[in-house]
Amino acid sequence: MTMKKILVKDFSKSSTDFSRQDYEDIVLALQYYGHCYYTLDEPEISDAEYDKLYRLLIEVEKLHNDWILPDSPSLKIGGEVRKVFESVKHDPPMMSLDNITEETQLIEFHERVFKTLKLSDKNKNTFLYHAEPKFDGLAIDLIYKNGILVSGSTRGDGDTGEDITHNIKTVRNIPLKLMIDHAPELLSIRGECVMTYEAFDALNKELEKNEKKLFANPRNAAAGSLRQQDSKIAASRDLYFFPYSIGKVIENESSASHLSCPKTQAEIYKTYFPALGFKVSPEIKSGNINDIADHFRLIMERRSLLKFDIDGIVVKVNDIGLWESLGITSKYPRYAIAYKFPARSAITKLLDVSFQTGRTGIVTPVAHLKPVNVGGVMIRRASLHNMREIERLNVHIGDMVEVIRAGDVIPKVESLVEHDVQNAKLIKAPENCPECHEKLVVEDIFLRCVNRNCRGRKVASLKYFASKDGLDIDGLGAEWIEKLYDLKKINDFCDIFYLNEEALTGIDGMGEILRQNMLRSISEKKNITLEVFIKSLGITNVGARISELIAENYQSLDEIISTSQEQFNEIHEIGPIIAQSLYEYFHDEENIRVIKKLLKSGFTVIAPEKKSLTDLPLKGEVFVFTGTLTGLKRDEAQKLVKKLGAKTGASISSQTTCLVYGENAGSKLKKADEASIKKMSEEEFINLLNQLSGDKGNT
């Protein structure tokens, strides 16, 4: 690898004093740090340091236009506008894959491979396949000439695609220059460009704010972003590229000896792509056909934990030497197959629509559906969001509609399939709150109940407070909240912490075990970080990210309560709307009364401790996570250890100091043992986190 580490302090002089060599060193340094960040997931410098260096690069490039290198990281911010997309002929064509959805079909595929290759049945359990995610994005072909990215194009019809090089160059983890010293004369790398769920949600929120058309799913958002004329737009969208195959290689004399030709698909993923500077998906598996079937089930379970949408796995014969003998059908290669997850959409009848009052008073239409199985889950209800959405979908009661489940979210009605002209009934917006019957107020596209004592609002905010998005009180589920509210045992969230044996005695359906569990779960949540507490209040427009920001900027609830709207607005990332929500919430007498009563109950909010970077407790540690974590998502776990000073890695390396394993952990456990790396179960990990974040002052 040629990525050499260059320290930021080397560039402390004024940009006018820079030599061409200095400029080239900045390019190399930024490439190195960008690679650590985007490809290895192990940033070596802070964002601020990176930005500083980046600004320097731009200054020098402005002064010396003629120095700009074809692989300068400045190309990542885009700027090039292309009015027309030229056609690009793919050589060889970009084929598609045959699809299966059942395990029996996977076995049939295995049988066909054996038959075609005339292999002996006795090798059936040792024959290796490679499984990798089937990314749901836009297929891309990248062409590198002598190591420099010269073209990026869409798959198109497989033979001919569109030249979108200007946009491709802005994708964060696509190297503009390959990391090997003697690159082939020509190398084409194929893969998929995808958008994270997080980026997709943020993008749609932004589009909604600007009253623009929303994207239906991350795939469309990725494709739409890459087909823009102005590459600044693609640059602003959080896109990632995952390579999955090599299209073509033309070696020159010096390259041939440097980059040995991979013999297996596993080698392509594990050695070849990373050596070139590409990030590969860690969700891969080599094994016999039964291992692959197990892997499919595991990935299907883990699907909702992934940052990206995948719609199945691609199973490939691992030994590349056999691909040619397996041949191709008219459309597909016979060495690979796409094993797809069951559909996550289904068609059913819209039986009725009811209206539900949420914690902020917004009244949401809910579709009642004829029960239907969507990707293994029976769906009876789906969200219709608001009246404008109903108009947009043009659905009526009695129509046949398509329902989808995307990620872990509540199912939603996606489209109208068939309108029942004879019997369909119009969906009418209610005038009064379905819960408290007060007159509703129309606010933009929303209907809102403004009665703060409305049962619907109160129960919904209590449910939210105790839910996974709030304090996560395990033994206090939504049904119990409703029951306890109706029995007048709880009215506000502070009352939850005043519940005791006596209050919970004599309640229908509550036995001794349940009561003890509930009281234990509640008392376990008596010490909560400021961030979690803010999040659990369910303040309008204040979710996880804003709560995190608040906790970063304030030490106590008292400080927050005495903050003005303008001061909230001054926090980076907090705009006037959120500032107003925060201010109004913390200046409402009733809210303050409830918070004060809560603090009197023995409930404590742990103040965030400001630590200097050098004395963070996990400094020097490199954590790797494997298997399914049940208590928290992997990216949350990574964030938490990073906050405590540790770095994280995707795979076990010589730098790894600790492996945290969840359920169904795979080969990393063995690797960690072999390398004598400390291992920790999820439970031990949580204990460690609790220990490290303990001993802090209470507000």
Taking the least distance from each CB to ligand IVH, the nearer of 99 and 653 is: 99
Select from 72-80, 130-138, 174-182, 646-654 the region that touches ligand IVH (CB under 6 A). 130-138
Question: Any contact of residue 97 with ligand IVH (CB under 6 A)?
Answer: yes
Question: Any contact of residue 314 with ligand IVH (CB under 6 A)?
Answer: yes
Query: What are phi and psi for residue 552, nearest 5 degrees?
Result: -75, -25
Which candidate, 446, 441, 481, places its Cα nearest to that of 462? 481
Please give the residues from 319 up to 378 whose contact with ligand IVH meets the rule CB under 6 A.
333, 336, 338
Q: Rule CB under 6 A: choose which of 35, 110, 155, 237 binds ligand IVH.
A: 155
Q: Rule CB under 6 A: choose which of 33, 240, 244, 603 binds ligand IVH.
A: 244
**What are the tokens at 646?**
């540790």
Q: What is the DSSP annotation of 680-696?
A: EEHHHHHHHHHHHH-S-
Pairing of strands 658-661, 647-649: unpaired
Taking CB under 6 A as the rule, which mask of x and - marks residues 201-240 in contact with ligand IVH? ----------------------------------------
Question: Any contact of residue 142 with ligand IVH (CB under 6 A)?
Answer: no
What is the total count of residues that contact ligand IVH (CB under 6 A)?
15
Taking the least distance from each CB to ligand IVH, the nearer of 135 and 355 is: 135
Catalytic residue numbers, as ranges: 134
Phi-psi region of 693 (alpha: psi -120 to 50; beta: other; left: phi over 0): alpha
b/e burial code for range 148-160 (CB count within 10 A of at least 16 → b): ebebbbbbbeeee
Question: Any contact of residue 95 with ligand IVH (CB under 6 A)?
Answer: yes
**What are the tokens at 541?**
């427009």
Select from 91-99, 360-368, 386-394, 585-593 the region that touches ligand IVH (CB under 6 A). 91-99
* Long-range Cβ contacts of 446-449 (<8 Å, 24+ apart): 446/362, 446/363, 446/386, 447/355, 447/362, 447/363, 447/386, 447/387, 448/360, 448/361, 448/362, 448/363, 449/357, 449/361, 449/363
CA distance 299 to 304: 9
Taking the least distance from each CB to ligand IVH, the nearer of 299 and 641 is: 299
Select from 133-141, 257-265, 356-364, 538-546 the region that touches ligand IVH (CB under 6 A). 133-141
| Residue given tokens 């239907």 in the structure block | 372
Nearest distance from residue 244's CB to ligand IVH, in Å? 4
Q: Rule CB under 6 A: choose which of 34, 36, 132, 142 binds ligand IVH.
A: 132
Select from 95-103, 110-118, 216-224, 262-270 the region that touches ligand IVH (CB under 6 A). 95-103
Taking the least distance from each CB to ligand IVH, the nearer of 95 and 507 is: 95
- Are the beta carbons of 283 and 298 closer than 8 angstroms? no
Helical spans, DSSP H, in 571-608: 576-586, 589-600
Question: Any contact of residue 298 with ligand IVH (CB under 6 A)?
Answer: no
- Are the beta carbons of 388 and 394 closer than 8 angstroms? no
Select from 132-140, 230-238, 368-376, 377-385 the region that touches ligand IVH (CB under 6 A). 132-140
Task: Please name the residues in contact with 267: beta carbons below 8 A apart, sequence gap of 6 or more.
Answer: none
Give me the residues that bind ligand IVH (CB under 6 A), please: 95-97, 132, 134-135, 139, 155, 192, 244-245, 314, 333, 336, 338
